[in-house]
Structure 1
Amino acid sequence: MAHILKKEKEFSYIEIGEGTPIIVLHGLMGGLSNFDGVSGFFSERGYKIVIPELPIYTMSLLKTNVKSFANYLHDFIEFKGFDEVILLGNSLGGHIGLYHTKMYPEKVKALIITGSSGLYESAMGSGYTKRSDYEVIKKKAQDVFYDPEVATKEIVDEVYATVNDRNKLVKTLAIAKSAIRHNMAKDLPKMQTPTCIIWGKNDSVTPPEVAEEFNDLLPDSELFWIDKCGHAAMMEHPDLFNEILDSWLNKRGF
């Protein structure tokens, strides 16, 4: 699904639909298209879907960290003039959403995390010693999913190009260190924002016990599982992901 990328000031983003804003936060290697299924579904159900391009590789190395990205998100929300938003994040995007919610709880009506970092990091920033070997990178990309076919050649090519770009690799490693540094175990029990946790039962990047820990630590959370599913539930099982999220949003009155 091709959407027009709007560019205003320092922000680039996709925006479709009208209604309550759901801001979608992509992961480290995740493109905006990863959320096509989600954006199409919810933009037709009374929500404004907004997917900003996060400045993962464009900020200075000093600012390449979770806190800076969360502040960037705050600046974007202010720029758009949104009073309250729902945040939906996958992987690093989930971590950014959590950290933003910790800093600006009054701005976040609800939070949805899937395969989120913030408690446990395994694959992020590791295993790039053989980055010039296309087959090694292909296997790494496939391991993100339960079904390796989801890792199309386009996805593999993009990951390969990213890890073989020296500037991007240095920043990928900086983000991995930042994700560990910004562990949220002590923060989560203080966060009262209603949170929907949707997790792949076969996630090898952030394993199922990570989802259980998020659910235990967050005071107002619900955990939903998707079977035969890896690290990116909204890509592998978009229909089921949408069904779970739609039901949760309706139940909570969002």
Structure 2
Amino acid sequence: MDFALKEEKGFTYIEEGQGETLLLLHGLMGALSNWDAVINEFSANYRVLIPVLPIYDMPLLTTGVRALSKFVHKFIKFKKLSNVVLLGNSLGGHVGLVYVLAHPGYVKALVLTGSSGLYENAFGGSFPRRESIDFVREKVQYTFYDPIIATEEMVQDIHAMINDRHKVIRLLAMAKSAIRHNMKDELRKITMPVSLIWGRDDKITPPEVAVEFNELLPNSELHWIDKCGHAPMMERPVEFNQYLAQFLEKLKK
């Protein structure tokens, strides 16, 4: 399903539904469409917001996880949000963790899926060779348990992205920032409810990463999705939405 993009005050975002806010953050090479199944399922009862993270628009010297966290705060202030449930996949989860440490009063709960922040094996330990679309295809497929999820459109989009010098420099800078910004020593300060929904076959943030998050986050729960890689909300949307719905119901009690 195609959702209308809104553009206001320098922000580009999707906004669907009304009610309590679910704020969704995409990953480093992710797209807003990664969250389509969540929008379809929850916009009937929630206000679902997904901003485009300005990964390619920041000055190179400030491109990093903290800068994206500051952007999220500007967006939250612009939309006058409070008591947000923040969901993040991959880099988006990492940004969410940094954000709640800086501004805990705006977020009531976190949902992390395939989040960076402790360890990530981006692109299987290497960055794609720009000249080879076959290599890109292989690495995009590596993201998922079932390689069929990696559509040719997705492969072509990422191939084009990494052949854009402006974009690839910022992708590398952002990836390096995420690796440097290890949050192991800070996670115990996050006391709000956290739901970890993880693909048991995630090769980028493997299962031991989820276990460590669960051990370090004092008020967290961990749910596994079998035969699922790094983006459960795309690869196993029904199971992902079931765990998310259970968590949201628990927050109401």
TM-score bucket (shorter structure): over 0.9
- 1:5-60 per-residue CA deviation (whole Å, 9 max, x = no partner) reads 0000110000000001101000011110011000110111x210000000011111
Alignment partner of 1:151 is 2:150: yes
**Contact 1:197/1:215 (8 A) holds in 2:** yes
- 1:54-77 per-residue CA deviation (whole Å, 9 max, x = no partner) reads 001111101210000001000000
The list of structure 1 runs, each at least 4 consecutive aligned residues, that deviate by more than 4 angstroms after superposition, is none
Match of 1:196 in 2: 195
**Contact 1:145/1:230 (8 A) holds in 2:** yes
Q: With structure 1 as the length reference, what TM-score do the two structures score?
A: 0.97
Q: Which structure 2 residues correspond to residues 40-51 of structure 1 after superposition, within 5 A?
A: 40-44=40-44, 46-51=45-50
Match of 2:229 in 1: 230
Q: Separation in 2 of the partners of 1:92 and 1:166?
A: 21
**Contact 2:22/2:49 (8 A) holds in 1:** yes
**Contact 2:123/2:140 (8 A) holds in 1:** no
Alignment partner of 1:27 is 2:27: yes
Instruction: Write the letter of the residue equivalent to 1:183.
Output: N
SS in 2 for 1:171: helix
Match of 2:89 in 1: 90
Say if 1:33 and 1:5 are closer, same or farther in 2 by CA, change over 3 A: same
Q: Separation in 2 of the partners of 1:66 and 1:87?
A: 16
Q: With structure 2 as the length reference, what TM-score do the two structures score?
A: 0.97
**Contact 2:21/2:84 (8 A) holds in 1:** yes
* Residue range with higher mean Cα deviation, 129-138 or 231-240: 129-138
Q: Separation in 2 of the partners of 1:77 and 1:129?
A: 34
Alignment partner of 1:175 is 2:174: yes
Q: Separation in 1 of the partners of 2:163 and 2:223?
A: 36
Q: In structure 1, list runs of 5 or more residues that go unmatched.
A: none
Displacement, 1:252?
Answer: 2.4
Q: Which structure 2 residues correspond to residues 75-224 of structure 1 after superposition, within 5 A?
A: 75-123=74-122, 127-128=126-127, 130-224=129-223
Match of 2:70 in 1: 71
* Residue range with higher mean Cα deviation, 115-124 or 95-104: 115-124
**Contact 1:202/1:228 (8 A) holds in 2:** yes
**Contact 2:128/2:135 (8 A) holds in 1:** no
SS in 2 for 1:7: strand
Number of paired residues? 253
- 1:98-129 per-residue CA deviation (whole Å, 9 max, x = no partner) reads 11011001111110000000000221595235
Q: Separation in 1 of the partners of 2:94 and 2:195?
A: 14
* Residue range with higher mean Cα deviation, 213-222 or 242-251: 242-251
Q: Separation in 2 of the partners of 1:20 and 1:32?
A: 20
Q: Separation in 2 of the partners of 1:54 and 1:242?
A: 23
**Contact 1:125/1:176 (8 A) holds in 2:** no
Q: Separation in 2 of the partners of 1:228 and 1:10?
A: 39
Q: Separation in 2 of the partners of 1:128 and 1:179?
A: 15
Match of 1:244 in 2: 243
- 1:178-205 per-residue CA deviation (whole Å, 9 max, x = no partner) reads 1122111011011111100000000000
Q: Separation in 1 of the partners of 2:138 and 2:179?
A: 24
Displacement, 1:130?
Answer: 2.0
CA-based RMSD: 1.2
Q: Separation in 1 of the partners of 2:10 and 2:33?
A: 20
Q: Separation in 2 of the partners of 1:209 and 1:164?
A: 33
SS in 2 for 1:225: strand
**Contact 1:185/1:217 (8 A) holds in 2:** yes
* Residue range with higher mean Cα deviation, 178-187 or 210-219: 178-187
Displacement, 1:83?
Answer: 2.0
Q: Separation in 2 of the partners of 1:181 and 1:130?
A: 23
The sequence identity of aligned pairs, in percent, is 53
